[in-house]
């Protein structure tokens, strides 16, 4: 393909992804011909999944990622979705069933990363690293300084909701950029220095925005260390200067973040803290804080697990209610389906402060509640077969760097229940499997 066309196509993709990281939910809420951009993401991923896992294998005998078993389990996942909805008399024209089943269609991101962003169509140039690091800094400033109310109102003319990036969105941007950067630089000392500096910049922001995102960031950093040890045999003087600079950046960033009025992702109102256990006969009065805070972080009462942390406790009660309700209704194997709100979330106390939350804030519990143990098993097999694919390519560490921190974050956050987060994850996996980002013998300087 013409190099100029490849350059323009690559540039447009990078601009699109940057806007997705910068504006996150605001960007996916853009309305185009009556539908939101996030809905186009899911529809597009669904279409690609059907074409590449069903139609192409039937007519051309070519399987997704050249893996017949992987293709088979994704087809089982899609087929069981159809059967579950058929048994529940759900209407296939109901858009809600595709929203609540997004964990299925997000696997379509594999196709985008592996086929559409192949090295013949999508190039990462040397200057992209300067721009991506600048982009990370812009995301940091936007997330901490914000924009004027007038500009927010202007943006709201084109989207259904204005929202600054959540901790999960910031984490995703950081890992996306640094995974590609570290891999391209082959985990050199200069890349380690930049990871330390930007890690020091982002740590205070992530700690304030979301504890799970901060822990996930630490996991990413720890998983990268073995790769650095393989490639760095002696630390030079610039490393020690970087340590000092990173401490200075961390102090400045902490001071800046603390001085800003940053919305905490995990925060819930005091009224909700008092009400979270209203379904039970335990600790449900005005001495909640006084009684609970005297207890350990986790404690058991009346056969349930509780937490002294109000935000974590809110999640724990939802997850337990889902499991208990499903067990009592004999829905554990097939789940509730996709055409209605989960009973455990059908409560004014759980709709969130904006009254629109139906997310269970846990990737596994979301899959369990919708598709039951059947879909838990099928998704596990898909992840396992992807792991085997990375193993056969001798790039297991790449899989760990992407999957472990980002999926861990989703166990305490509704990130995998939205449109862009899971698709970007699988796009990264597709990119990594396509050509491991870097070609042997390629020289990258920075």
pLDDT digits (tens, 9 = 90+) for 103-129: 999 999 999 999 998 878 888 888 898
Q: In which band, very low, low, confident or very high, does the pLDDT at 439 lie, cut at 50, 70 and 90?
A: very low
Shared-domain flag, residues 118 and 234: yes
Q: How far is CA 242 from CA 135, 156, 239, 311, 446, in A?
A: 21, 41, 5, 36, 16
| 240 plus 304 within the same structural domain | no
**How many folded domains does the chain comprise?**
2
Do 375 and 73 contact (CB within 8 A), yes or no? no
The H-or-E segment that residue 36 falls in is strand 35-36
- Tell me if 211 is assigned to some domain: yes
Q: Is 368 inside a domain boundary?
A: no
376 located within any domain: no
340 and 205 both lie in a single domain:
no
Average pLDDT rounded to a whole number, residues 81-96: 95
- 42 is a domain residue: yes
pLDDT at 220 over 90: yes
410 shares a domain with 285? no
Average pLDDT taken over every residue of the chain: 88
Which residues partner with 35 through β-bridges? 32
Q: Does 382 fall in a domain?
A: no
For residues 244 and 299, state if they share a domain: no
Q: What is the pLDDT of residue 177?
A: 96
Tokens of 324: 């208990």
Same domain, 299 and 151: no
Give the range of the structural domain holding residue 309, as residue numbers without chain letter. 270-350
Dist CA 33 CA 41 (whole Å): 14
Among candidate residues 73, 136, 93, 191, the one with its CA nearest the CA of residue 438: 191
- Whether pTM > 0.85 for this model: the answer is yes
Q: Of residues 71 and 346, which shows the higher confidence score?
A: 71
Do 235 and 171 fall within a single domain? yes
On whether both 130 and 194 belong to a single domain, the answer is: yes
- Are residues 244 and 324 both part of a single domain? no
For residue 295, the model assigns a pLDDT of: 55
Per-residue pLDDT for 82 more than 70?
A: yes
Last residue of a domain, one of 317, 350, 383: 350
Q: Do 113 and 218 share a domain, yes or no?
A: yes
Last residue of a domain, one of 350, 380, 405: 350
Closest CA to 417 of 130, 98, 54, 74: 98
Is there a domain that residue 366 lies in? no
The angle formed by the CA atoms of residues 189, 192 and 194, to the nearest 5 degrees, is 115
Instruction: Summarize pLDDT for 255-282 with one digit per residue, the tens.
Output: 999 998 777 776 565 555 544 554 555 4
Residue 179 covered by a domain: yes
Do 281 and 246 lie in one domain? The reply is: no
- Taking CA atoms, 246 is separated from 91, 192, 218, 228, 243, in Å, by 55, 12, 15, 18, 5
Give the C-alpha distances (Å, rounded to integers) separating 386 from 57, 64, 118, 208, 379.
18, 11, 18, 33, 11
**Separation of alpha carbons 375 and 144, rounded Å:** 39
399, 428 Cβ separation under 8 angstroms: no
Please answer whether residues 437 and 183 qualify as being in contact, where contact means their C-beta atoms are separated by less than 8 angstroms: yes
Contact in structure between 23 and 31 (CB atoms under 8 Å): no
Domain assignment present for 314: yes
Residues 7 and 67 in one domain: yes
Q: Please tell me the predicted confidence (pLDDT) of residue 236.
A: 80
Contact 416, 363 (CB under 8 A): yes
């Amino acid at each position: 393909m013409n190099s100029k066309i490849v350059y323009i196509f690559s540039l447009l993709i990078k601009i699109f992804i940057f806007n997705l990281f910068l504006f996150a939910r605001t960007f996916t809420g853009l309305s185009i011909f009556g539908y939101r951009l996030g809905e186009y993401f899911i529809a597009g991923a669904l279409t690609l999944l059907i074409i590449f896992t069903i139609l192409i294998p039937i007519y051309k005998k070519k399987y997704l990622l050249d893996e017949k078993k992987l293709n088979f389990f994704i087809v089982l996942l899609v087929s069981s979705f159809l059967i579950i909805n058929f048994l529940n008399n759900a209407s296939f024209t109901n858009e809600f069933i595709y929203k609540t089943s997004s964990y299925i269609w997000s696997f379509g991101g594999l196709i985008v990363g592996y086929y559409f962003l192949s090295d013949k169509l999508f190039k990462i140039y040397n200057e992209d690293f300067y721009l991506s690091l600048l982009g990370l800094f812009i995301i940091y400033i936007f997330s901490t300084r914000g924009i004027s109310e007038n500009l927010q109102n202007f943006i709201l003319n084109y989207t259904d909701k204005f929202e600054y990036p959540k901790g999960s969105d910031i984490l995703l941007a950081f890992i996306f950029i640094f995974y590609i950067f570290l891999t391209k630089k082959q985990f050199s000392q200069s890349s380690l220095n930049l990871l330390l500096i930007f890690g020091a910049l982002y740590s205070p922001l992530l700690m304030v925005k979301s504890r799970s995102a901060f822990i996930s960031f630490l996991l990413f950093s720890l998983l990268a260390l073995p790769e650095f040890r393989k490639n760095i045999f002696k630390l030079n003087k610039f490393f020690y200067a970087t340590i000092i600079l990173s401490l200075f950046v961390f102090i400045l960033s902490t001071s800046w973040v603390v001085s800003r009025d940053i919305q905490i992702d995990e925060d819930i109102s005091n009224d909700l803290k008092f009400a979270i256990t209203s379904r039970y006969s335990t600790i449900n009065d005005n001495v909640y804080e006084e009684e609970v805070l005297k207890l350990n972080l986790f404690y058991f009462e009346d056969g349930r697990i509780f937490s002294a942390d109000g935000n974590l406790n809110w999640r724990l009660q939802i997850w337990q209610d889902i499991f208990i309700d499903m067990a009592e209704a004999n829905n554990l194997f097939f789940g509730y389906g996709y055409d209605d709100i989960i009973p455990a979330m059908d409560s004014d106390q759980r709709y969130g402060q904006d009254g629109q939350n139906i997310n269970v804030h846990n990737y596994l519990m979301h899959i369990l509640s919708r598709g039951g143990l059947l879909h838990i098993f099928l998704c596990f097999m898909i992840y396992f077969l992807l792991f085997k694919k990375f193993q056969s390519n001798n790039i297991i560490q790449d899989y760990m760097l992407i999957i472990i921190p980002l999926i861990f974050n989703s166990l305490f956050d509704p990130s995998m229940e939205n449109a862009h987060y899971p698709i970007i994850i699988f796009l990264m996996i597709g990119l990594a499997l396509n050509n491991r980002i870097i070609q042997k013998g390629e020289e990258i300087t920075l």
